[in-house]
Structure 1
Amino acid sequence: MSRMTPFSSPLLLGFDGVEKTLERIAKGGDGYPPYNIERVRPAEGEDRSYDLIRITLAVAGFGESELEVTVEENQLLVRGKQADDASREYLHRGIAARQFQKCFLLAEGMRITGAELRNGLLSIDLAKPEPERVVRKIKIAVAD
């Protein structure tokens, strides 16, 4: 018996990659570090041809050199890696040096406009352009 998925409809053509991506996202349930995603409205007089989206991650304890923000194909990857300081002798260690990798899937046409680390919060700004409405008429060839 074959498995039925939401994308197995014959009316949804070419969505195989979307289905695989959704399955991968469903498996990645690690909530560290916590993050917010917000829509930032352009100020009066600024370019309104795109929406600005801001992702803010709580990365307290990480310095700029311990964070990496990259875009691979249509994925935004944020990685953090803290190294243990061998020169310190802990009597109690409640703050662990941890690593993380957070992946965000970006829609076609989105671009990163900047990233800023301030007060333990890493903010990444993305521009989402307004989609173009394209209507094309397809010529029908007659073969008699």
Structure 2
Amino acid sequence: MREFDLSPLYRSAIGFDRLANMLDNASRNDNQPSFPPYNIELMGENEYRITMAVAGFENDELNIQSESGSLTVTGQKKEVPQDRQYLYQGIAARNFERRFQLADHVKVVTASMENGLLHIDLIREIPEAMKPRQIQIQ
């Protein structure tokens, strides 16, 4: 990703520092690991779904935490029994941590596991005070 100099934005715009920080952080997150693979879907006008391929993980080995505009999904694999001997192990059994930045007013609604896929449903709920309103002319 290209490096952008955001200092002019800091000098001339007030209140956009959070946007500049998000752009700066996004340019630095290129080194995030690629495991586990995931999709981000637009399900409706204000509905999203993150689907992660977490084959081999059980529900109690996964943790989903949403905090101040950030969603973190971690997988902590339990110890593999020593009596197993793999000739080939193609299914990844490593721990992971995946972070997603959430826009304002986006919150996690549900999480479910189906056929080795973790589905996290999100919704954007814009407060009533921020929605457009019609002004009557008197």
Query: Please, what TM-score do these two structures have when normalized by structure 2?
Result: 0.75
Q: Specify the alignment match of 1:90 in structure 2.
A: 85
Report the alpha carbon displacement of residue 113 of structure 1 after superposing the two structures with TM: 1.0
Q: When the two structures are aligned, how many residues end up with a matched partner? A: 125
Larger radius of gyration: 1
**1:63-100 Cα deviation digits (max 9, x unpaired):** 10010111111101111111222333324352342111
Question: 2:52 aligned with 1:67, yes or no?
Answer: no
Gaps of at least 5 residues in structure 2 are: 134-138
Which of these residues, 48, 52, 57, is aligned with residue 57 of structure 1? Answer: 52
Q: Specify the alignment match of 1:36 in structure 2.
A: 39
1:1-144 aligned within 5 A: 5-6=5-6, 8-9=8-9, 10-28=11-29, 29=31, 30-41=33-44, 51-94=46-89, 95-130=91-126, 132-133=131-132
Write the letter of the residue equivalent to 1:40.
M
Structure 2 Cα separation of the partners of residues 108 and 13 of structure 1:
18
Instruction: Please say if residues 115 and 123 of structure 1, whose CA atoms lie closer than 8 Å, have aligned partners that are also in contact.
Output: yes
Moved more, 23-32 or 119-128: 23-32
Structure 2 Cα separation of the partners of residues 100 and 120 of structure 1:
15
Cα RMSD of the aligned pairs, angstroms, is 2.6
Instruction: Please say if residues 7 and 19 of structure 1, whose CA atoms lie closer than 8 Å, have aligned partners that are also in contact.
Output: no
Write the letter of the residue equivalent to 2:131.
E
Structure 2 Cα separation of the partners of residues 96 and 39 of structure 1:
28
Structure 1 Cα separation of the partners of residues 83 and 123 of structure 2:
43
